[in-house]
Amino acid sequence: MPPHLYDITRTVSASTAVWQGDAPYHVEPKLRLEDGWAVNLMTVTTTPHVGTHADAYFHYEPDGAHPATMPLDAYIGRARVLTVSKRSGALLPDDLPAAPAGAERLLIHSHVSDLDDSVFAPEFPYLSVELIDWLVGLGIRLIGLDSPSVDAVDSTALPCHHALYRHGIVNLENLLLRGVPDGDYELIALPLKLDAACASPVRAILRPLDSAS
Ligand SMILES: [Zn+2]
């Protein structure tokens, strides 16, 4: 029996890997029960790109949407998980085991899902504009990766991020697809309704379609 839900979210903790120079997740107590206060009250600081997250268009487009106004319906619905063997470099259509026709959302599973939450992948596969254009032609509106970026780690032109924006489709990064068989699921991965931010952590889950009722 497959599990009722696959939690495909990285745990967010102080040791969760973040981009070099980015602010890690940090929890600071403001009030403590043990000091006699009525509640524990914490202050959280973090990059919004910590763990599994949705980029907002504002991340790389000056007039782009913040998480609060990203198109919500893109983050819920039928999604296909496909595993790629390529360990690094730009993915092309031929690198996918099959064309994800009829899926609307594509989650790409690579070796990165085998890494611990605390490890920033020393190499990872990322998208290409050719792949994005091809997927859009198949009706894909969300592309998720277990990699930390849809572009190369040293890219400053960010051609894939801009291609997503141009097509009006959305992405998820740092998914955790370890143990998830390839196939079709219902994805739910909603960004928080954050104004002003450039990304939002998501709680990403997959429901097998036969239990999604
Ligand atoms: Zn990001």
pLDDT at residue 64 greater than cutoff 70: yes
pLDDT band at 9 (very low <50, low <70, confident <90, very high): very high
Q: What is the pLDDT of residue 210?
A: 74
CA of 52 to the centre of ligand 1 (A): 9
How many Cβ atoms from other residues are within 10 Å of residue 97's Cβ? 11
CA distance 132 to 48: 24
The share of the chain scoring above pLDDT 70, in percent, equals: 98
CA of 34 to the centre of ligand 1 (A): 37
Q: What is the pLDDT of residue 212?
A: 46
CA of 161 to the centre of ligand 1 (A): 9
Of 4 and 203, which is predicted with more confidence? 203
Q: Would residue 59 show up in a list of annotated catalytic residues for this protein?
A: yes
CA of 190 to the centre of ligand 1 (A): 15
**Architecture of the domain whose range is 48-211:** 3-Layer(bba) Sandwich (3.50)
How many Cβ atoms from other residues are within 10 Å of residue 193's Cβ? 12
Domain ranges of the chain: 48-211
pLDDT band at 1 (very low <50, low <70, confident <90, very high): low
CA of 61 to the centre of ligand 1 (A): 13
Query: Catalytic pick from 59, 66, 111, 161?
Result: 59
- Alpha-carbon distances, residue 22 vs 46, 143, 152 (angstroms): 8, 23, 17
Q: Tell me how far the alpha carbon of residue 21 is from its chain's centroid.
A: 20
Q: Collect all residues with Cβ–Cβ distance below 8 Å to 81 and sequence separation of at least 6.
A: 107, 109, 177, 180, 181, 182, 183, 184, 185, 206
Q: What's the pTM value of the predicted model, to 2 decimals? A: 0.95
CA distance 127 to 96: 11
Structure tokens at 154: 């040293």
CA of 207 to the centre of ligand 1 (A): 24
Q: What is the pLDDT of residue 211?
A: 60
